[in-house]
Amino acid sequence: MICDHCGKQVPEAVFCTNCGAHQGKSAETGDPRARQHHYAAAPGEHVAQPSVFSTLLPHLGHSKVHEFRWAFLIGLALVVILVATGLVVAALLAAIFLVPALYLVYLYEAQVYRDEPALVLGATFIGGIILGLAVTLLSNAIIGISIVQSTTALIGYTVILPIVQLIVMPLPALLLRNRAGFTETVDGLAFGVASGLGFSISESIVRFSSVFANTGIHTDSASWIYPLVGVAVLIPLLHGSTSGALAAGLWRFDRTGRARDISAYAVPVSVIATIGFYYVGQLLANNGVSPLIVLLYQAIPVALLLVYIRFLLHYSLLEEARDLGFHAVVCPNCHRHVMAAGFCPNCGVALTAAPRSAVKPKPAEASATPAPTTTPSEGA
pTM of the model: 0.85
- Cβ-contact 278, 157 below 8 angstroms: yes
pLDDT at 366: 41
pLDDT above 70: residue 322:
no
pLDDT at 323: 55
Angle between helices 88-110 and 235-251 (to 10 degrees): 30
Task: Give the list of residues 6+ apart from residue 214 with CB closer than 8 angstroms, or none.
Answer: none
pLDDT at 369: 42
- Cβ-contact 354, 61 below 8 angstroms: yes
One-letter identity of residue 370: P
pLDDT at 73: 95
One-letter identity of residue 150: S
Buried b (16+ CB within 10 A) or exposed e, 139-158: beeebeeebeeeeeebebbb
Across 38-47, 72-81, 239-248, 331-340, least confident range: 331-340
- Taken in order 4, 335, 183, 237, is the CA torsion positive or negative? positive
Q: How confident is the model at residue 372 (pLDDT cuts 50, 70, 90)?
A: very low
Rounded alpha-carbon distances, angstroms, from residue 271 to 66, 87, 267: 31, 36, 6
Domain ranges of the chain: 1-50+321-380, 55-319
Q: How confident is the model at residue 220 (pLDDT cuts 50, 70, 90)?
A: low
Task: Give the list of residues 6+ apart from residue 184 with CB closer than 8 angstroms, or none.
Answer: 251, 316, 320, 352
The end-to-end CA distance of the chain, in Å, is 13
128 or 117: which leads in pLDDT: 128
Determine the longest span between alpha carbons in the chain, in angstroms.
72
- Cβ-contact 23, 16 below 8 angstroms: yes
Q: How confident is the model at residue 68 (pLDDT cuts 50, 70, 90)?
A: very high
Please give the angle made by the CA atoms of 235, 241 and 244, to the nearest 5 degrees: 135
pLDDT above 60: residue 17:
yes
- Cβ-contact 238, 180 below 8 angstroms: no
- Cβ-contact 324, 359 below 8 angstroms: yes
pLDDT at 371: 42
Rounded alpha-carbon distances, angstroms, from residue 298 to 96, 212, 232, 294: 18, 26, 13, 6
- pLDDT tens digits, one per residue of 255-306: 445 556 788 899 999 999 999 999 999 889 888 899 999 999 999 999 999 9
β-sheet bridge partners, residue 339? 328
pLDDT above 50: residue 103:
yes
pLDDT at 232: 92
